[in-house]
Amino acid sequence: MNKEVRVRFAPSPTGGLHLGGVRTALFNYLFAKKHNGTFILRVEDTDQTRFVAGAEEYIVDCLAWCGIAPDESPQKPGAFGPYRQSERKPSYRQYAEQLVNSGYAYYAFDTAEELTEKRAQEPNFLYGQKSRMQMRNSLTLTQSEVSELLAQNAPHVIRIKMPSNEQVTFTDMIRGEVTFDTNLVDDKVLLKADGMPTYHLAVVVDDRAMQISHIFRGEEWLPSAPIHLLLWEYLGWGDEMPAWAHLPLILKPDGNGKLSKRDGDRLGFPVYAMNWTDPKTGDLTKGFKELGFMPEAFVNLLALLGWNDGTDKEIFTLNELIDSFSVERISKAGAKFDFEKAKWFNHEWIKNSPVEQLLTNVQTELSGAGISITDGEKLATAISLVKDRCTLLSDFVSQLGYFFVAPQDYDISAIAPKWTAEKTDFFEAFAQTLNIETTAAELESAFKALAESKSLKAGEVMLPLRMMLVGGKFGPGVFDIVKFLGKEETQNRIAYGLSKLNA
């Protein structure tokens, strides 16, 4: 790389952060760290009609949870601020006026009512080459009329004047050479009537001001590329233009179209990084974090939606992703989102994570379920026994809660019909002779020997023992559970189980 790598993630604070947005942030982050560059968070809040209170803080929290905190942001300003577009408002008009003065843009005084009427007359109306000379703008009005309207502070916007019969070509880092016909692009608004820029002007001005070297953004922005490319040229900054990469879409599980929040609601999985509560409606949209995903797993699965390192490797730490990342391995094609595969990533991460790494998250899950555990050593032992069985962090509640809270209700329908006095006698004898000082394997041998001495098959009494100890047909090795619970607690649970079965 000849120049310093500076990349930006530039979300709008309008609501929850879609996993596609997080992936865009992640790819920016990975590219920056790979090249010892700078990762910037810039908040694009120029559309005040869509601004949602709390959304910026939520975005910052999501990035922090994922472990991809920016080097520069509104919360951590650097030398290229402000980092909110709304705070950069004075800088935009001068560039819009510069474009008008050089003939690359024009004032448009059409009212909202006039535009609505025009759209009613022409259903596919586009304000551009074919229609601009029929409208009320500085191209059709006299200079004196324009000056008078401006002097009166008449409401107006500034639109780019798209050229006719030109081809705009650039090299996309992912897609190769991409060409656009300017005849198919309308005259987008650059500066709104309230003096705020649209995305098209602001993104170019800010990227130049912040010395952005590479732009990673979603494929949905590709149609806007010719406008942005021309603005870089028209403002005299062609030599400073960053490199571009338009990331593939994250698709619905069936591959038909972009994955949306509605798809998640319909199919029963989250599409937001973290829980988002709409401050206006109070509606809660669930996120991966609260469902029980580890941030490491979430980042891992996102990285492999549209990228791979060229091998069969699927489990990556963040540092491994940084080392392996290359733009050349990003796919042009959209990536189908598979929630079962996402859960597989999480299961692998839980299974392979050291107990110490899981401890705090598991304590949080248990606390949320009303289970308070002060003995960290015992909790660590319990986690080591069950972590291979957990797909989500929330699974730890059902998978190890019984280690600390004795089951009160359990389904005895599978064993009650075959219950006999001989089995009661067996369990009373087992409880009395229980020697917890031996190993789990020796406990099992003693259990089977006792069953044989009472003419019972070990299989007939193994399930009832598990039911008495944990309340269901789940959990790790039953004698590991006995060892963990200890003699007194095991005896108490057997006694309670027998009272249920003999009732």
Give the pair of three-digit tokens for residue 197.
Answer: 């820029």
* Cα 289 to Cα 292: distance, rounded to the nearest angstrom: 6
Q: Helix, strand or coil for residue 262?
A: helix
**Which tokens is 308 given?**
């791979």
Residue 463: how many CB atoms within 10 A of its CB?
A: 14
User: Would you state the structure tokens that stand for residue 144, as one six-digit string?
Assistant: 């004196």
**C-alpha to C-alpha distance for 481 and 15, rounded to whole angstroms:** 45
Q: Cis link prior to 82 (omega < 30° from 0)? A: yes
CB atoms closer than 10 angstroms to residue 409: 7
The pair phi, psi for residue 386, each rounded to 5°, is: -120, -5
Return the closest-CA partner of residue 307 out of 5, 31, 16.
31
What DSSP designation does 366 have? H
Rounded to an integer, what distance in angstroms lies between the CA atom of residue 19 and that of residue 11? 12
Specify which residues 78 forms β-bridges with: none
Q: How far is CA 221 from CA 227, 244, 247, in A?
A: 11, 11, 9
Residues 6+ apart with CB under 8 A from 389: 395, 399, 474, 475, 476
The continuous run of DSSP H or E covering 400 comes out as helix 395-400
Closest alpha carbon to 26 in 248, 281, 204, 216: 216
Rounded CA-CA distance 111/205 in Å is 27
- Residue whose structure tokens are 């992640």: 26
Compute how many other C-beta atoms are within 10 angstroms of the C-beta atom of residue 102. Answer: 11
Could you give the residue numbers annotated as active site? 261
Alpha helices (H) along 88-185: 89-101, 112-121, 143-151
